[in-house]
Amino acid sequence: EWQAIETGIGNTQYSGQVTLGTAPSYTLTDTTRGNHKTYNLNGGTSGTGTLFTNTTDTWGNGLPSNKETAGADAHYGAALTWDYYKNVHGRSGIRGDGVGAYSRVHYGNAYVNAFWSDSCFCMTYGDGTGNSKPLTSIDVAAHEMTHGVTSNTAGLVYSGESGGLNEATSDIMAAAVEFYANNANDKGDYLVGEKIDINGNGTPLRYMDKPSKDGSSKDSWYSGIGSIDVHYSSGPANHFFYLLSEGSGAKTINGVSYNSPTSDGLPVTGIGIDKARLIWFKALTTKFTSNTNYAGARTGTVAAATELYGAGSAEVTAVENAWAAISVGS
């Protein structure tokens, strides 16, 4: 059956003016991306609320007081993440079957979190502190959607070291999506949640070049890291990915300054995020299993890099050096 492809205009809070999939006239339904839909919970905490519907094809006004604005941000983040997985990794949707998930915005009252749920095959966003900072930025959307990808591939158990690797996978792919999007209002970075002001002082939620900058995350692996919260045991793997992409030491990218340390004091030369993201994705989808730990992640990524770039390649050496730099040896 033939279906019109409508592209509306979204005035988002975090990403400026963007195009949105809005068919049929006019709802937030993305027919070119598995019919991904975006719903307004309007403060509710269950069900789907109502599908965003409009008489014109312009959505939101860039401000959180307009209920469509968060819908536009979430719809855009889902579209970017879909495009990233399709165009960079050849994966069509979260399950790889071309079927879209859906997004729900305006969950609860001043709810400061966002989450993926396997049971609804959907992602949900609160409106943040004072209902003025919805958690609908590109990186948060990509982070939550990637929980769906992880769940349908490696299936990394959400506790212990595998839980940290699950969380890191979401942060890693969030950074990759942000760089892929190259949005003028939200350029790529190795920060997580820099737009949503979750700390109330303008600082990001997490830092991949030096995870301990958040006060809780770990920079390197240690025996016992599996006992801490998965959003902190993700630190070493986030740090690994930064080092593999950009290398150790000081560097400024898109106006953000980084300074990544190594636990062994040896320098790491980065191979660029375009290669690093392929290595991580290949390991996630063909090497990691539900109980993969840090040692297994090292083995899996070395194997993935070897298949992609060859034994003895500079890429394999960089993977080995980046793991050594966060205290995961051979």
Residues in touch with ligand ASN (CB under 6 A)? 113-115, 143-144, 147, 167
Q: To the nearest whole angstrom, how small is the minimum distance from the Cβ of residue 87 to Zn ion?
A: 23
Residue with tokens 């194997």: 303
What is the CB neighbour count within 10 angstroms for residue 82?
Answer: 24
Which phi and psi (to 5°) does residue 183 adopt? -70, 135
Choose, from 106, 143, 147, 231, the residue flagged as catalytic: 231
Residue 40 or 170 with smaller CB distance to Zn ion: 170
Our answer to whether residue 246 is catalytic in this structure is no
Tokens 């506790």 appear where?
159
Of 241 and 309, nearer to Zn ion (C-beta) is: 241
Q: Find out whether 77 and 138 touch, Cβ atoms under 8 Å.
A: yes
Nearer to Zn ion, 155 or 249 (CB): 155
Map the footprint of Zn ion across residues 150-179, applying CB under 5 A: 170
Least Å from the CB of residue 164 to Zn ion = 11
- State the residue number with the nearest CB to Zn ion: 170
Contact 207, 191 (CB under 8 A): yes
Nearest to 33 by CA among 62, 61, 75: 75
Least gap, CB of 186 to Zn ion (angstroms): 19
For the question of residue 144 being annotated catalytic, the response is yes
At a CB cut-off of 8 Å and minimum separation 6, what does 90 contact?
Answer: none
Name the H helices within the chain.
67-89, 138-151, 160-181, 230-233, 235-246, 273-286, 294-309, 314-324
**Identity of the residue, 115 or 121, whose beta carbon is nearer to ligand ASN in the bound complex:** 115
Q: Is position 124 an interface residue for Zn ion (rule: CB under 5 A)?
A: no
CB 143 → Zn ion: shortest distance, Å? 6
* Residue 115 binding result from ligand ASN, Zn ion, none, given CB thresholds of 5 to 8 Å by partner type: ligand ASN
Catalytic residue annotation? 144, 231
